[in-house]
Amino acid sequence: MVLGLFLSAIFAMLVSSSTLLMSLVFSPLLFVFIISELILVIVISARLQKLSLTTAKTLFIIYSILNGITISVVLWAYVSASVISVFFIAAVMFGSLGILGFFTKKDLTAMGKFLFMALIGLIIAMVVNMFLRNDTTSFVISIIGVLIFAGLTAYDHQWLKKISLSLEDKKAEKLAIFGALKLYLDFINMFLFLLRIFGRRK
């Protein structure tokens, strides 16, 4: 997960700091990147057990790089100091919630199911608001998004802890890739929603 975030950050900064690269990203290529990311997530999630460990790692690295390129579009719109501040906030939140999820004795299974349904509702609301373009709705969606991914961070840490104890070494190694993807998505989405709330636009 840390490697994925590092690669995403490097490529996001490289692309957002180059006028030429940004002009390429602000083109139909952006949709190609987004679709490619969705395909990679589906492949890693659905076919993890059939993939070799090397292939799974490679796909995760490619996904991290592509996501860094698409995130550059968002970072380009915000002041750098603001992005760094929000990233620090997200990191502290993620770390704290991860520790909570890992060590709590309370079963978070029911919360995970609720959060998954809430996430579907959030996605629908975001799609609808793409047409409405209502600032108040966008702000509310961002707050809800932070809460959902904060909860998923705690839930995913507990889920990974539980399932890892019952797997063989080879399966556990593949689970590590899937777990890295889940936690990566939790962090990135929480960071982006926080950026929409606290970020300072250029």
Distance CA 51, CA 57 (A): 10
Domain boundary among 76, 94, 128: 76
33 and 95, same domain (yes or no): no
Distance CA 174, CA 57 (A): 9
Among residues 63, 60, 74, the alpha carbon closest in space to that of 25 is found at 74
88 and 124, same domain (yes or no): yes
How is residue 49 annotated by DSSP? G
Q: Give tens-digit pLDDT for 183-201.
A: 999 999 999 999 999 988 8
pTM: 0.89
Look at residue 202 and tell me whether its pLDDT is greater than 80: no
Residues paired with residue 78 on neighbouring β-strands, in sequence order: 201
**Which domain does 37 fall in, by range?**
1-76
